[in-house]
Amino acid sequence: METNHEVIQKQSPLFFKINSTVQQIIFVALILFCTTPYSSPPIALLLGLVVANLSGHPFLNLNHKATSILLQISVIGLGFGMNVNSALSAGKEGFLFTIASIFSTLILGTLLGKWFNIEKKTSHLISCGTAICGGSAIAAIAPVIKSDEKQTSVALGVIFILNSVALFLFPAVGHWLGLSQKEFGLWCAIAIHDTSSVVGAANKFGTEALQIATTVKLARALWIIPVALITAVIFKNKSSKIKIPYFIGLFILAMLLNTYVSKTAIVAPYLVSIAKIGLTLTLFLIGAGLNRSILKTVGIKPLFQGVLLWAFIAIASLTAIVYFN
């Protein structure tokens, strides 16, 4: 059975009509390039977007699963470059920001959805994706509200479009405003949706920003559980199981090993380097899954809701971090 993304890809008008073998060669060549020092997360994302719309994605049916697995492995690997004490400190500082931003975003998202007359489930998925951790939150909440493939795809489309913009925009704004590593790490962890784009943007800004952003973002991801429970009550659904992001536990284990097991230092730098390459590949695959037809299916109203929610959380969190932290 074909997924919605596969059907869309087949219907998508590409600039070049090429046979599948050439298509695969181009795709694999770009993947190999993304593993070299000449690539970076923003470049990889841009290359993915280009290949999606020029020659097409030859392995689209595997894209979502590969992206999810690769991101989780990469995040675990990054844990070997972090210290537990620093992580706890960052987590405490981001805790109040996290609570305030999550629930204010969910409330505002509900109001905007009603104002724009957006279908309720689509609106809620966009709000949850913006409030917590992008695609992961949508994947966890979708079965709870029993959304159909169209509703889920629209929400994911909105989130992935804005994630792509964030990867380029946030580091530029951070440098322009003269944000410190700590300030930028907190800001992008709160205001950027997906973990992949958070880590990509923070990595571009600096090492300290990367450590803070990754820790705060993963702590934020745990809020999927209470939000899913609240959602089940609101949508009156008691039967759906809630997906718990288990890889966060392995990330914590990696930090513990790096902090308290001295021999880990022998392999830790290599694992972190491999994890960063994995992150770059993840962003390439995310870009490769966004062709023009997917962008068209999103629609103006859901995209506008996503943009307004994103602007709210980005401006509010930045103001709080700069003036009240």
The pLDDT score that the predictor gives to residue 295 is 67
Q: What is the average pLDDT across 263-282?
A: 89
Angle at 32 between CA 28 and CA 36, to 5 degrees: 165
The least confident of 8-17, 34-43, 231-240 is: 8-17
Two tokens, residue 305: 């809701």
| CA 125/CA 212 separation, integer angstroms | 26
Q: Furthest-apart CA pair in the chain: how many Å? A: 57
pLDDT for residue 259: 87
pLDDT value of position 176: 94
Calpha distance 21→27 (Å, rounded) = 10
HSE (CB half, 13 Å, CA atoms) of 112? 23
Minimal CA–CA distance to 297: which of 139, 152, 125, 137?
Answer: 152
Residues 6+ apart with CB under 8 A from 60: 5, 6, 9, 289
Which pLDDT does position 94 carry in this prediction?
64
- Regarding pTM above 0.85, the answer is no
Q: What is the pLDDT of residues 145-191, one digit of tens each?
A: 888 777 887 888 888 888 888 988 999 999 999 999 999 999 999 99
Average pLDDT over residues 126-151: 83
- For residue 251 the two structure tokens come to 């990330």
Distance CA 249, CA 139 (A): 19
Q: Would you state the pLDDT for residue 211?
A: 87
6: left (phi over 0), alpha (psi -120 to 50) or beta: alpha
Q: Is 8 left (phi over 0), alpha (psi -120 to 50) or beta?
A: alpha
- Tokens found for residue 77: 């690997």
Q: Using CA atoms of 129, 12, 58, 39 in order, give the dihedral in degrees to the nearest 10.
A: -60
Measured over the CA atoms of residue 325, residue 168, residue 196 and residue 242, the dihedral's sign is positive
Q: What is the per-residue pLDDT across 103-131, written as a single tens digit (0 to 9) for each?
A: 999 999 999 999 999 989 999 999 999 98
Residues ≥6 apart with Cβ < 8 Å to 261: none
Examine the pLDDT at 324 and tell me if it is beyond 60: yes
Whether the CB-CB separation of 126 and 134 falls below 8 Å is answered with: no
Measured CA distances, 147 to 109, 135, 152 (Å)? 17, 14, 6
Q: CB atoms < 10 A from the CB of 183, how many?
A: 19
- pLDDT given at position 16: 55
- 58 or 91, greater pLDDT: 58
